[in-house]
Structure 1
Amino acid sequence: MAKADQKEEGMESPKPTILHFSHSHPLELTNLSTLNINGKSQLSCSGCKQKLSSKYAYCCLSCNYFLHASCSQLPPEVRHPVDKDHPLCLSAVAPYPGGVFKCSGCSEPGSGFYYACGSCRLELHAQCANMPLHIRNPAHRHPLELSVAVARGGMGFFCLVCGKYGRKSWRYRCKSCVFDAHPGCVLDKNPPPEPEIIPEPSERSIPEEKKGSKSSLTREIGGRVMETAAVAIVSNVIGSMFS
């Protein structure tokens, strides 16, 4: 997942069990295909509120709490140009009725994990906070920059990709050409399927003479898997928000 003002880094290999700030019980990495529960196909992640799209997820079965492995590894703080003076902190539930907040990036309501600055009264979907600051897209010959200055005149801005007006929200733009576009029109809406997560085996299951090579391979594969999974989740969610 691309982070504002940070280098893109591979995420950690998923661990068999984690303690996460969003839930009071340990979460276990679980093969969802082995679960025998009603409505399994409709299970959603408590972090991004999207359908569980991979074979494995972190679960607390006694509470019906589920979390994408990539959502479990969101950074606790990010720096973002929308607030140059303060870091934005990750929170699980907004302190408003029903836990619903209004995102300052897309102007849409949200109820999952979000980043906030309390002193500036600023809240962002985790997906909006992690949109890339610069992208290239075949729709325009120049690089496009994420503009966090909300267009306030009339209906907002005119998207030169879909030909429709944008809501009062962020947009990607080329300043030299006055080219504006919805994020959902220039970000990939159809990323490759989320690859299968390979759980890291416990130390006891690895013969002593093979620990180094096996663990190293698992971490390398897991890091690539987590990075691709995060990009897939962000692209899917942002595409639906801004289309």
Structure 2
Amino acid sequence: MASKKPVNNRPSVRHPSHNHPLRVFKARDEDEVVCSGCELDLTGQAFKCMKSDCDFFLHKSCFDLLREIKHKSHPDHSLTMLHSPPYGKSYTCDACGEYGSGFTYNCSECQYDVHVGCAFIPETVECEDHEHPLTLLYNTPCKGREDGAMFICDVCE
């Protein structure tokens, strides 16, 4: 997937989502940069484009994403990682209903897209406001909700 190659005596890596070599980058809150993959604030270990006029950054976790996944929200087909939106400049995430312009997990057969962050939401969460663990449900028929995903308590519903 990625190949290592020295540029200007600094180790660099390549990623299929970007044309230029990348270098390791330690992101701090005050940097105020966004990951080009998941479009979330960049913190911790990351990669930065070595070209000075290029603003391409990737979380280490986005650099290492799986090429294909099976996801409970779309059980009939595998989802394939795309490094750019499949339908132009943006797509709508079928999990949360929000727009995205970075990486997406996509089913080309169904035109189904999921943000990277939405693809890896935990199946259960503990919540301070509730005594039982909450389980993530998909496509639940709740009135007043436009998106299909929500957390529900298995014990008291």
Structural mapping, 1:170-189, within 5 Å = 170-178=149-157
By relative contact order (CA 8 Å, sep 6+), the higher-ranking structure is 1
Size of the aligned set, in residue pairs, is 144
The correspondence for 2:148, drawn from 153, 169, 187, is 169
Equivalent residue number for residue 60 of structure 1: 49
Q: How far, CA to CA, are the matches of 1:45 and 1:176 in structure 2?
A: 38
**In the alignment, residue 172 of structure 1 is paired with which amino acid?**
F
Structural mapping, 1:200-219, within 5 Å = none
Deviation at 1:119, TM superposition (A): 0.9
Q: Can you list the C-alpha shifts for 1:58-110, whole angstroms capped at 9, x where unaligned?
A: 1223233211212111111221111212211111111223x211111111111
2:19 pairs with 1:28: no
2:138 pairs with 1:148: yes
Identity between Structure 1 and Structure 2 (%): 34
Higher strand share: 2
Larger radius of gyration: 1
Q: How far, CA to CA, are the matches of 1:51 and 1:66 in structure 2?
A: 10
**In the alignment, residue 19 of structure 1 is paired with which amino acid?**
R
The RMSD of aligned alpha carbons is 2.2
Deviation at 1:25, TM superposition (A): 2.4
Native 8 Å contact 1:29 1:59 kept in 2: yes
**In the alignment, residue 71 of structure 1 is paired with which amino acid?**
C
Q: Residue 118 of structure 2 aligns to a residue in which SS?
A: helix
The correspondence for 1:111, drawn from 101, 106, 115, is 101
**In the alignment, residue 148 of structure 2 is paired with which amino acid?**
S
Equivalent residue number for residue 217 of structure 1: none
**In the alignment, residue 78 of structure 2 is paired with which amino acid?**
P
Structural mapping, 1:189-200, within 5 Å = none
Q: Can you list the C-alpha shifts for 1:201-235, whole angstroms capped at 9, x where unaligned?
A: xxxxxxxxxxxxxxxxxxxxxxxxxxxxxxxxxxx
User: TM-score, structure 1 length as denominator?
Assistant: 0.53
Native 8 Å contact 1:116 1:122 kept in 2: yes
Equivalent residue number for residue 6 of structure 1: none
Native 8 Å contact 1:29 1:57 kept in 2: yes
2:63 pairs with 1:72: yes
Deviation at 1:114, TM superposition (A): 1.2
Change (3 A) 1:135 1:50: closer
Structural mapping, 1:87-102, within 5 Å = 87-97=78-88, 99-102=89-92
2:12 pairs with 1:45: no
Structure 2 stretches lacking a partner, 5+ long: 1-10
User: TM-score, structure 2 length as denominator?
Assistant: 0.79
